[in-house]
Amino acid sequence: MRKTTLQAICALLLPIALLPSCVKNRLYDTAHPDQGKIQVTADWSHRGQGIAVPEEWCLSIGGYSGKESGLVHTPDTLFNPGTYLMTACNLPERVSISGTNATLESLSDSTGAYVASLPGWLFTNAQNVSIEADKEHALTAPMQQQIRQLSLIIGAEDGLADKIGSISGKLSGVARSLDFNTQEHKEASNARMEFHQLSSGPNTGKWMVTVRLLGITGGEQNLSATITYKDPGRQRLSLESCLSAALKDFNLDKTQPLFLEGSLKESGFSATIDDWTPAQGWEDIEVQ
């Protein structure tokens, strides 16, 4: 009886043992099946004429941050699956970076605070990227130029320009900081404007200043300056001029230097420039 029972059990189990196994070893595409890896290429193609590619740039994503001197950066970190904010930027002179905020160096004198007038050229990128497990991602960071050159040229009739010894002042309503993730220009400040007289070329005698700005912000941009004459016995002039209309699109395409020209009008102990217009014939001048 016992022998018969064992034979019956074996007869039932034998077909099951002979069935092919349905469990297969899972195959992976990478050596990191639970995480993803990235490689980031910086695209510097959208920059102003004459501006060199920065020697070094930084990449931040998740808890990782690293520097790169070449075009391609491959972090030695693996990332869990998910969506990340990836930021890239260079670190130019007189510009500090904290997260996605870029801030110009601030200076001050007896007239108040103002931003550095010739900071280095800043380029940034911020984008959301999705990382998948068991995958290597080839990403591109298009670097956006965030500093724009502004030149103001002042002319005057009746030989007045040649009687001037100096023009110096400030431009209000310039941005000291920028959130390059949202493209929000913030912290209205001033830019020092120290004009010099042109001594050669078709515009000889005119007065010009060139600065680099992170952008404009606030309601108005006004030039406030003092005009000092070569004749020490002549009264200084106070110059007040509004550039809000001429600068309204200043933040849009920072790769193109902007040249604005105005004509000085004297009235008693003050002066003004009513209309600022794009200056012609300056396009081939190299950026400062």
Q: With beta carbons less than 8 A apart as the criterion, state whether 69 and 42 touch.
A: no
| Entry pTM | 0.88
Nearest alpha carbon to residue 144 among 245, 246, 252, 235:
252
DSSP structure class, residue 54: P
Fold of 148-278: Immunoglobulin-like (2.60.40)
Sequence-distant (6+) residues with CB within 8 A of 27 are none
Sign of the dihedral through C-alpha 62, 67, 70, 71: positive
Give mean pLDDT, residues 107-130. 95
| Answer CATH for 36-145 from 2.60.40.2100, 2.40.40.20, 1.10.230.10, 3.40.50.620 | 2.60.40.2100
CA count, 13 A, side-chain hemisphere, 212: 22
Q: Please give the pLDDT value at position 13.
A: 52
Q: What is the mean pLDDT of residues 13-17?
A: 51
Of 285 and 113, more confident: 113
Percent of the chain residues past pLDDT 90, beyond the cut: 78
Residue 249 binned pLDDT confidence (cut-offs 50, 70, 90): very high
Q: Is the pLDDT of residue 160 over 90?
A: no
Assess contact for 174 and 189: CB atoms under 8 A.
yes
Please state the domain extents for the chain: 36-145, 148-278
- Residue 161 parent element (H or E): helix 160-163
User: What residues contact residue 241 under an 8 Å CB cut-off, 6+ apart?
Assistant: 222, 223, 262, 272, 273, 274, 276
Q: What is the pLDDT of residue 276?
A: 96
Q: What is the mean pLDDT of residues 141-168?
A: 94
Does the pLDDT of residue 188 top 60, yes or no? Answer: yes
pLDDT per position as a tens digit, 36-88: 999 999 999 999 999 999 999 999 999 999 999 999 999 999 999 999 999 99
Q: Are 36-145 and 148-278 equal in CATH topology? A: yes
Work out the angle at residue 148's Cα, subtended by the Cα atoms of residues 142 and 150, and round it to the nearest 5 degrees. 165
Asked if the model's pLDDT at residue 220 lies above 50, the reply is yes
Q: What is the pLDDT of residue 287?
A: 46
Indicate the average pLDDT of the chain: 90
**C-alpha–C-alpha distance, residues 151 and 279, integer Å:** 9
What is the reported pLDDT for 219?
84
pLDDT greater at residue 269 or residue 240:
240
pLDDT of 11 above 60: no
